[in-house]
Copies of this chain bind each other. A is one copy, B any other.
Amino acid sequence: MTENSTALQIALAYHKAWTSKDLDLAMSYIADDIVCDAPAGRIEGAEAYRAFMAPFVQILLDVSMIAAFGDEQTALVMYDTTTVPVPSAPGAECVTVKANKITYSRFLFDRAPFEAARR
């Protein structure tokens, strides 16, 4: 794992915050003008991003980090989550960090089991 990586430190601090269900702390690492490309489409701005994350945090039961790497500007993490509807729902995020805030996130997870749980 790359040491002393600014982007990775921010990504891990953000990860620790949202997985601890502390959305206020998590959002302190998110730029006001964040752009997030998620499976369902693009999310723009911190308010929309928080509205996207909040329901997921509510159904979150457990998280384990699979791998986390980064360099000065970019971090890439993969983790597994246990959620109320889906027992194993891994996610991956590639984030761009500028001035200690996440300005861009490419966010990836499998929507299929969540859609199946809703049906």
- A residues at B contact (CB < 8 Å): 1-2, 39, 66-71, 74, 76-78, 90-92, 94, 106, 108-112, 115
For A77, the chain B residues whose CB sits under 8 A away are 76
* A69 and B78 within 8 A (CB): no
Q: Are A78 and B110 in contact (CB under 8 A)?
A: no
Complex CA gap A111/B109 in Å reads 9
Bound-complex Cα distance A2 to B94 (A): 16
A110 / chain B contacts, CB cutoff of 8 Å: 39, 108-112
Question: Which chain B residues border A1 with CB–CB below 8 Å?
Answer: 71
Question: B residues within 8 A CB of A71?
Answer: 1-2, 69
Contacts of A70 in B (CB 8 A): 69
Query: What's the Cα separation between A62 and B58 when bound, in Å?
Result: 37
- The complex places the Cα of A94 from the Cα of B90 at a distance, in Å, of 11
State which of B2, B108, B109 has its C-beta within 8 Å of the C-beta of A78. Answer: B108
- In the complex, what residues of B have CB within 8 A of residue A69's CB? 2, 69-71, 76
Q: Which of B68, B90, B108 contacts A90 (CB 8 A)?
A: B108
